[in-house]
């Protein structure tokens, strides 16, 4: 296997691990109503909130509870895996552009149009497919579970705002009602639009200074948001000074994306760079940085650094896990496939979980039962993976059809 091929495989495997963490997190947060989420009162106050399951009395009961809660701790803060998506996006975009000659070769308007068109297709085709599927799920919920019936669409104006992506910058409350996971789309679109300028800065400043500079910008904004602003971007956990008015903005997540860009640049300049990051010392560094990132979440001042720390740490942590699991043939293939369809899985799992699975459990009177919780978990896992694969297949077919029509 060539180094280039191994790079692609390991990144897909990391992405696969990240999407598993995200959709399992949503399973937990919807089941328990987010009762374990962080409060800004220090690690001690949050540790007890992570103790979700009680195994009963005695030593054996405590050990059973500990094992169940240990598994849960892997997922209850899975929201942080979105940070890894941003790192991987910056990495892949930078590496692929360098491999094709860089932005310096893009001197004609049609080349710029082609550059943005490819990125928009990758974001918007799965998005529009997911909107259609989401509406079908809403209609299906009304038909199958009439006790939960409600208007499947809000009104034509709301539908128009969902379909016209720029509106998602300004109406996050609407997205929360339809599919709260859509907050990621305007965020990544903003970063993609900025990418040419960021790429030029990266080449002029070098990877180390570029990452340090963007980290400084990110920290400066997050400091202002934590102490002085009465608003907070969607996708971050800690509230702002007074309220939790939602919007989408790239700056508090800039470092994760540019950290990935820096890694992609260094990896292109040295073909063995990424291989060198698959060593135990980097895994341990990632583990320590991830723990520190979660500790930072439990303090107001820590929110200034938490997402940047988590993006940095989780990348190395998941790389270590992906490297070890990659030695198991079927696990490597599974994680790569899961990584390839991660975006589609991210967009679609909300509908299955909220508009079918939990509605079914509620009608049957099973939601809240711990035994059912553990029995349903593998079913949910398998169903979501299948839905992601199906969504990826549909996206590829639509993209092929559009490409065919353009060629004609």
The backbone torsions φ and ψ at residue 232, rounded to the nearest 5 degrees and listed phi first, read: -155, 140
pLDDT tens for each residue of the chain, 408 residues long: 344 444 567 999 999 999 999 999 999 888 887 777 777 788 877 777 777 787 667 777 778 888 888 777 778 778 889 999 999 999 999 998 888 776 555 566 677 777 788 888 899 899 999 988 988 888 888 888 888 776 555 566 777 777 776 555 556 667 777 788 888 888 898 899 899 899 999 999 999 999 999 999 999 999 988 888 777 776 666 665 666 666 778 899 999 999 999 999 999 999 889 889 989 999 999 999 999 998 898 888 998 999 999 999 999 999 999 999 988 888 989 999 999 999 999 999 999 999 999 999 998 988 888 889 999 999 999 999 999 999 999 999 998 887 765 555
223 exposure class (CB count in 10 Å sphere: 0-12, 13-18, 19+)? middle
The answer to whether residues 7 and 326 touch, using CB atoms and an 8 Å cutoff, is no
pLDDT at 245: 65
DSSP 241: S
Token pair belonging to 127: 């998005």
End-to-end CA distance of the chain: 37
CA–CA separation, 60 vs 55, rounded Å? Answer: 8
Residues 293, 296, 302, 307, CA torsion sign: positive
Check residue 99 and give its pLDDT.
Answer: 84
Q: What is the CA radius of gyration of the chain?
A: 22
Distance CA 127, CA 395 (A): 9
pLDDT per position as a tens digit, 51-106: 778 766 777 777 888 888 877 777 877 888 999 999 999 999 999 888 877 655 55
**CB neighbours of 106 closer than 8 A, spacing ≥ 6?**
112, 115
**Distance from C-alpha of 44 to C-alpha of 160, rounded to nearest angstrom:** 46
- Please, are residues 125 and 403 in contact by the beta-carbon 8 Å criterion? no
What's residue 4's pLDDT? 45
Q: How far is CA 262 from CA 54, 200, 258, 272, 307, in A?
A: 45, 12, 6, 15, 17
Q: Would you state the structure tokens that stand for residue 243, as one six-digit string?
A: 């309220």
Query: 368: Cβ–Cβ under 8 A, 6 or more apart, which residues?
Result: none
Give the residue among 6, 5, 4 at the shortest CA–CA distance from 319.
6
Predicted pLDDT at 408:
55
Q: Supply 150's token pair.
A: 């409600």
pLDDT at 183: 84
Residue 283, Cα to own-chain centre: how many angstroms? 20
**342 closest CA partner among 383, 384, 399:** 384
Structure tokens at 173: 């409350």
Side-chain half-sphere exposure of 235, counting CA atoms within 13 A: 28
Q: Which DSSP symbol is given to 48?
A: G
Residue 6 is predicted with a pLDDT of 46
Query: Rounded CA gap, 1 and 383, in Å?
Result: 32
Instruction: Give 298-308 pLDDT, tens digit per residue.
Output: 888 998 999 99
User: What gap in Å lies between CA 404 and CA 182, rounded to an integer?
Assistant: 29
């Amino acid at each position: 296997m060539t180094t280039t091929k191994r790079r692609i495989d390991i990144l897909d495997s990391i992405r696969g691990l990240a999407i598993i963490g995200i959709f399992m997190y949503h399973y937990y947060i919807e089941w328990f109503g987010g009762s374990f989420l962080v409060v800004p009162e220090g690690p001690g106050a949050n540790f007890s909130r992570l103790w979700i399951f009680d195994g009963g009395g005695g030593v054996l009961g405590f050990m059973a509870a500990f094992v169940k809660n240990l598994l849960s701790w892997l997922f209850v803060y899975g929201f942080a895996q979105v940070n890894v998506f941003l790192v991987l996006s910056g990495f892949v975009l930078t590496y692929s552009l360098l491999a094709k000659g860089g932005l310096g070769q893009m001197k004609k308007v049609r080349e710029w149009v082609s550059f943005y068109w490819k990125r928009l297709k990758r974001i918007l085709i799965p998005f529009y497919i997911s909107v259609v599927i989401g509406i079908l799920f809403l209609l299906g919920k009304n038909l199958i579970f009439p006790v939960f019936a409600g208007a499947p669409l809000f009104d034509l104006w709301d539908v128009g705002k969902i379909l016209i992506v720029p509106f998602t910058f300004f109406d996050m409350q609407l997205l929360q009602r339809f599919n709260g996971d859509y907050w990621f789309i305007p965020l990544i679109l903003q970063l993609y639009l900025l990418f040419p300028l960021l790429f030029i800065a990266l080449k002029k400043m070098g990877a180390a200074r570029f990452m340090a500079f963007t980290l400084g910008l990110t920290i400066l904004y997050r400091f202002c948001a934590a102490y002085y602003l009465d608003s907070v971007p969607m996708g971050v956990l800690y509230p702002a000074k007074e309220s939790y008015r939602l919007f989408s903005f790239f700056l508090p997540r800039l470092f994760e994306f540019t950290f990935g860009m820096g890694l992609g640049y260094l990896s292109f300049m040295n073909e063995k760079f990424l291989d060198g990051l698959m060593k135990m010392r980097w895994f341990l560094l990632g583990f320590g940085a991830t723990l520190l990132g979660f500790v930072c979440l439990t303090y107001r001042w820590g929110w200034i650094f938490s997402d940047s720390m988590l993006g940095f740490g989780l990348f190395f942590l998941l790389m270590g896990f992906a490297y070890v699991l990659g030695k198991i043939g079927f696990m490597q293939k599974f994680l790569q496939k899961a990584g390839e369809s991660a975006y589609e899985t991210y967009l679609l799992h909300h509908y299955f979980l909220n508009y079918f699975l939990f509605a079914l459990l509620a009608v049957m009177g099973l939601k809240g039962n711990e035994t059912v919780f553990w029995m349903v978990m593998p079913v949910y896992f398998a169903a979501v993976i299948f839905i992601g694969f199906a969504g990826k297949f549909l996206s590829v077919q639509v993209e092929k059809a559009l490409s065919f029509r353009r060629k004609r």
